Amino acid sequence: MTVYVDVLAVLNIYVNFFLIKATAKLTGIKISALRTVLSSVFGSIFAFAIFLPPLNPIALTAIKLCGAFLIVFSAFGFKSFVTYIKNTFVFFCVNFIFCGLAYALIIALKSDFFAHNNLCFYADFSLATLVVSTIVAYFAISLFRRLFDKKSVVTDKFSVIISFAEKTFALNGIADTGNRLVDNFTGAPVIVCDCEKIGLSEDYTKPFTDKSFKGLRFLTYSTVDKNGIIPAFMPKSVIIKNETTGEMKSVDAMIGIAGKQENDCEAIFNPSILA
């Protein structure tokens, strides 16, 4: 069958977008739409290996491994070796699932509207079919994630150490999967903090005129009983210490300025930030 370059590129950008989003869903990583799109476009370059002569297994494996590691790096960055390997492993698993479904579809339909070479696939079917298929697959993965990620609170005790404006504050931290607040622009998670515990008043407006506060913006949030807007900024550094195990981890997160919290909830963060 004839393989069209433009269709191949669009198809792979679309599929890569789904694969990256599915990986982010399974790992609990927040990633912005812009970064997902750029990583998907970058990843589509490797699809053109379909035009190369059939490669030997060693060369093919090297190219695929290199491509996967580069795509994961472009999408999720490099925070630590363990996290990077975990993200790459999940990305491979999602790819294997997708490839398995593709082969199953080939066998079920007994059709020649699929072309594949060097582990690259080309599908000549309607956009509607592609959209419906990926939506169903994505929601299936989301359902799988929800079954193992119900709203819960980690029982370990934490301290959240925040530095900004030449000051450092240590707050009692609570890891709660119910806090899904992220910065829509960067995808960075937001740690919701008691304003008084970081030296600010509840009606504090100075961060939005003080140059010592970086990345200032208003974020919308939604809870069971209310919706609203919360100011947030990027601190100089954030370290989360597990008081139960003694482990300390530097994290990339924004600080949300909330009103006085109850029950010693001085800083609430999603446990996925520690992944």
CATH of the domain at 232: 2.40.70
Identify the pLDDT of residue 180: 83
State which residues form the domain around 170: 158-274
Q: Which pLDDT value is given to residue 171?
A: 93
Claim to verify: residue 142 and residue 204 sit in the same structural domain: no
Same domain for 201 and 124? no
Structure tokens at 170: 């240590």
Q: What is the mean pLDDT of residues 81-96?
A: 84
Residue 169: the pLDDT is: 93
Q: What is the pLDDT of residue 238?
A: 93
Q: What are phi and psi of 194, to 5 degrees?
A: -65, 120
Domain finish residue from 96, 127, 147: 147
Out of 8-12, 34-38, 46-50, 111-115, least confident range: 111-115
Which of 94, 113, 147 corresponds to the end of one domain?
Answer: 147
DSSP letter, residue 8: H
Determine the average pLDDT of the residues in 102-113.
Answer: 61
Overall average pLDDT of the 62-70 stretch: 82
Please report the pLDDT score of residue 269 as a whole number: 92
Spatial CB neighbours of 151, under 8 Å, sequence gap ≥ 6: 176, 177, 178
More confident residue, 246 or 204: 246
| Total domains in the fold of the chain | 2
Is the model's pLDDT at 152 over the cut of 50?
no
pLDDT at position 208: 57
Give the pLDDT of residue 50: 57
Helix/strand number for the chain, H first, E second: 5, 11
Q: Are residues 98 and 141 in the same domain?
A: yes
Q: How confident is the model at residue 120 (pLDDT cuts 50, 70, 90)?
A: low
Q: Which of 54, 179, 58 is nearest to 120 (CA)?
A: 54
138 and 12 in a single domain? The answer is yes
Residue 68 shares a structural domain with residue 163: no
Closest CA to 49 of 96, 111, 97, 119: 119
Determine which of 66-75, 101-110, 173-182 has the lowest per-residue pLDDT on average.
Answer: 101-110
- Residue 3 reports pLDDT greater than 90: no
179 and 257 fall within a common domain: yes
